[in-house]
Structures are given as structure tokens and as C-alpha cells.
Chains A and B, each alone.
Chain A
Amino acid sequence: MLWYKSWLETRWRFLIGFAVLAIMACGTIYDYLAVQKLLPLAPAIEPTGELGRRLKEAVEIEREFRGFVWLQWFRQNLTQTGTLFAVLLGSGGLLSRSSGGALFTLSLPVTRRDLLTTRAAVGLTEFFALALVPSLLIPLLAPSIGQTYSIVDALIHALCIFLGGSVFFSLAFLLSTAFDDLWRPLVVACGIGLVLAVVETAAGSAGRVGLFHVMSGESYFRSGAIPWIGMLVATALSAGMLYASTVNIARRDF
């Protein structure tokens, strides 16, 4: 029944995230109709500088539906919004007074490790559903605008988002074992995410080993190469932080 408690504590964050991402996924598909009309105007753009180069590259990628979906949905919307909901699902005073019932929970005949493991499992399952289900809407709804999208591509990109995003989930989870409120883990984890995004962008091609690069699945989109190493590193980082969370909560007094 610990899973039920964890579900009750996180369900609104999950359901809101699910609704937001599902609407955004649908929006992405039907946006393509408008983009198709604008694309013939694109050759007239003669950009200069790094920003111009990127714009031109984006236009070229978006000429194909597969490229449009990757750029708009997997690289931008799902990566950014998914990161935010990963942090939200990981935050929240796991055994703190602010969540209510901390002493009642601690009086149950379960170890603190069991409590945290269940909470992490429920949160990660919810995050997996957030990464997967809206992404599967793309191949499902694409025929409605006369396009197709590979289910395998959707699954692989969703996996990249899930494993990369689980690092942010675990970071927020770890911070929640140190802080007793919802907001500090949320703000600190989002702050770290923002700094990481800025550093990866500023690093240019060196940023291709970064976490957001893994989440976007760019190597798979461009060359069909699944970023196994990045995914493994993200999984290891995530597991390390979850383990640190159990150690931290085990030594705390309540």
C-alpha cells in the first residue's frame, strides 16, 4: 500500500503533466500544417552569423515531418517540459513535516529504505508515462494530417527523455531528503538544469556529450545511433543519487 500513498501524493502533478504534454504533442502535430504553408518562404531567408546558421539548419530539418517532430517535440517541448515535470515529481518532502503524516509513516513497520524505494519507483513510473504516452500520440495522430511517424523512433526518443530526465528526478529526490519543503528542491534542481542547458548551448559541439543532448536523442535522429553511453551514464548518475537519498534519509532524525 505504500505505492498507493505515493500515488496519492503525486497524482495531481502527474495528471497535470500528462494533460499538458498530451496537449502539447497534439499541438505539435497540427502545427505542422501551418509550418508546411510557411516553408516555401524559407529560401528567401539569407541568415548570417551563428544564430542565422541555426535558423537555416532548423528550416532544413523541418522540411520533413520526421525532422519537424524531432526538433519541435523531442528536442524542445518534451525535453524542457519533461525536465520540469521530472523535477516536480521528484520533489516534495519525502518524509518531512510539510508533507503531513511524517511521524505516522515512520511508525509503520517498514524500513525507511522501503519507503523511499517505493516513492522513487512510483515517481519514475509516472515520469516514464509522461515521456512515453504523449510521444506515442505522434505516430498515432500523424495520419490525421496525411503524415506518418515511426513508432520505433517515438519509443527510442521517449527512452532517451526518460533516462536523461531521471537524472533531474533523482536530483530533486536527493534534495528532498535534505530539505523539508517542496520549493527548495524544486528551485535548486531547476536552477541546476538551467545552468546545464546554458553551458551545453555555449559549449557548441562540445555540448554534444551533455545531458540535454542525450535527452534529445540527436545522434539517433541524425545517424540512427542510439546514445547508449550517455544513457548508461545518466542511469548510473540517477542510481547514485537515489542511493545517496536512502543513505541520507536513514541517518536523519525526525
Chain B
Amino acid sequence: MSEPLVVEAVDLRKQYDGTHALRGLSFAVPAGSICGFLGRNGAGKTTTIKVLLGMTRASSGQARVFGLASDDANAGVEIRRRTGFVSDEKDLYDYMTVADIIRFTASFYPRWRADLEQHYIRRFELPLYRVVKALSRGMRTRVAVLLALCRGAELLVLDEPTSGLDPAAAEDVLQTIVSHVAAEQATVFFSTHQIAEVDQIADRVVIIDSGRAVVSGALDDVRARFRRVQLVFEGEAPDVTAAAFRSPGIERIDRRGRVLTVLSSAGVEAVVEEARSLNPVSVDVVPVTLKEIFLESVKVEN
């Protein structure tokens, strides 16, 4: 039986001052998953998160979290009560001390986890009586993560949680999130442009480009779908284009000397069958990395 959907976006569109931030974005995040939301800068990741949390209204389409419409003011309150959020800029109140902002945030969440609060204060070695303004970027991120994790949230929405952190600090934050999710069984939706982070902790991925989801699904399925078929010929490889293949999902064909490489996003059996008709001396099927899938999906030359 499939897991219920915690996040669902259907044909979301958002236009700001003539700019199309979202152009029919659709994806779903099932309960219990860790979903990486990958995209280049300006792809629409932050706008999507703002729409999901009711901070911004979509021009059209539907965003539902826990089955509640995010553009409804009262439903938005319920969504945010059940969601932990870390913003891209680690937006906190500069004038409060760490202890103040923890006490302030805890007051809004009946299911606030005081045990986790103490655990993370010790683990992150947070200076409780220092004002937020005086914290380093890394410390500020740790405070933001603590405030999100202790809410007793069923969903964590993290907008580039490791941005601006050194590798050690980024790893620490990622490990904290993973161990929290393992213990608390929350769903995580995190945006990033760090492909390695998705590879490391996610079990689902949504790749967004120019406001549209270009790849979406379980990470293993996505990896299984994308394959490179390498054909080696005795002489020069034939000059064929994607149109020469009847199989669906041919993303790209590269021709270099005796080697012809076909990248498919819809399985390889039919492609291999067709490729054999070109009489190559060998046919190899090679797995594709997430980085290659991402770069191919967003049409960036590798």
C-alpha cells in the first residue's frame, strides 16, 4: 500500500512582476520520505516552499500539505503547527538571545520537545545568552535547525539548510537531520543545489528547472530509469540523431570517433534492441550518476 501524501503540488504557477517563478510545477512527497528538491539558483525552489507554507500565494494551481490547502489562512496555521521550517537565510530575530528565541518559539508548539531542546543545546554547544546577531553563520544555522526539530513536527521543510556552511558543519547538520528523522519518523522536504546532499540522505528527488519539475520520483527509480547505452563500432560511429530512435526517453546522443553514447530516461531494453540494428561491435549499458541526471535534466552542458 502506498504511503499517504504529505506534500502535493498540482500545476502550480506563480508570476511576480512579469517573471514566471513557477510554470506548472507538479510533484508529490509521500509520508516518511526524505525528498531532495534540487534545482539551480533561481529555479523556483524558495518560491515553492513559500507557497507550501502559505507565505506566498500561487497565481494558479493547488498546493496541499497534510491534505490542507496552503492558500487558506486557517489551514495555513494548521500546516505551520505541524511543520518545522528552516529558511534559506536562517532568518531569526537578531535582537533575541538564543535562550529567548527558544522560549519564544516553544510557546507556539504544544508538542514542543523539551528533551530534544536540551539534547541539541548540548550537542551544538549553543551559547544561550548570546544575541542571535552575534552568532556565526554555522551557529545561527544550528539554532534554526534546533528550532525546527524541537517543534514535534511531522514535516520538516528545509530551504538550503547547509548553505554557507563549511563541509564539517554541513555534514554535522545533515547527520543531525538524518538521525532526527530516523528517531521521530518525520517527512523531510529539503531544497538544495548540492547534488551530493541529495545522494547522501534523500530517498526521493524532485528536480526543478525554470519553475517546472523535470524529474520526480523515488531516487532508486530515477537512477534505474536513466541509463547510458554505449555502442562501439569497427569504424566511425554512424551519424544518428534522437529522431532515429523510436524508443521514448532518448535524452541525448553523443558521437565521438568509434563510440556512440545514447542517454535514455525511460529504460534501456528498447534502446538496446534498436541499437543492435546499427551493427555495433559491442553494446554496454552503464548506470548514470545523479549529477549527470541533474545536469541533463536542466540542460546544462557537462
Contacts and interface: CB of A to CB of B under 8 A. Distances in A.
B104 A101 contact: no
Contacts, number: 67
Contact of A107 (B73, B78, B87): B87
B89 A103 contact: yes
Nearest to B95: A8
Contacts of A101: 91-94
A103 B80 contact: no
Contacts of B55: 103, 106-107, 253-254
Contacts of B57: 253
Q: How large is the interface on B (under 10, 10 to 19, 20 to 34, 35 or more residues)?
A: 20 to 34
A3 B230 CA distance: 65
Nearest to A97: B91
A100 B16 CA distance: 22
Given A1-B104, A106-B53, A253-B16, A100 B77 contact: no
Contacts of A250: 73
A252 B66 CA distance: 24
Contacts of B56: 253-254
A228 interface: no
A110 interface: yes
A106 B108 CA distance: 12
B107 A1 contact: yes
Interface string B37-55: 0000000000000100111
A171 to B, nearest CB: 25
A110 B78 CA distance: 9
A74 to B, nearest CB: 34
Contacts of A106: 53-55
A4 interface: yes
A9 B104 CA distance: 14
Contacts of A110: 77, 108
Interface in B72-90: 73-74, 76-78, 80-81, 83, 85, 87, 89
Nearest to B51: A253
Contacts of A4: 104
A5 B105 CA distance: 11
Contacts of B87: 103-104, 107
B5 interface: no
A106 B51 CA distance: 12
Interface string A109-127: 1111100000000000000
Nearest to A101: B93
A94 to B, nearest CB: 14
Contacts of B53: 106-107
Nearest to B78: A109
B124 interface: no
Nearest to B109: A109
Given A8-B93, A109-B77, 10 more contacts: A5-B93, A100-B91, A101-B91, A104-B85, A107-B53, A107-B80, A107-B85, A110-B108, A111-B74, A254-B50
Interface of B: 16, 50, 53-57, 73-74, 76-78, 80-81, 83, 85, 87, 89, 91-96, 100, 103-105, 107-109
10 contacts: A1-B104, A101-B94, A106-B55, A107-B53, A107-B55, A107-B85, A108-B80, A109-B78, A250-B73, A253-B55
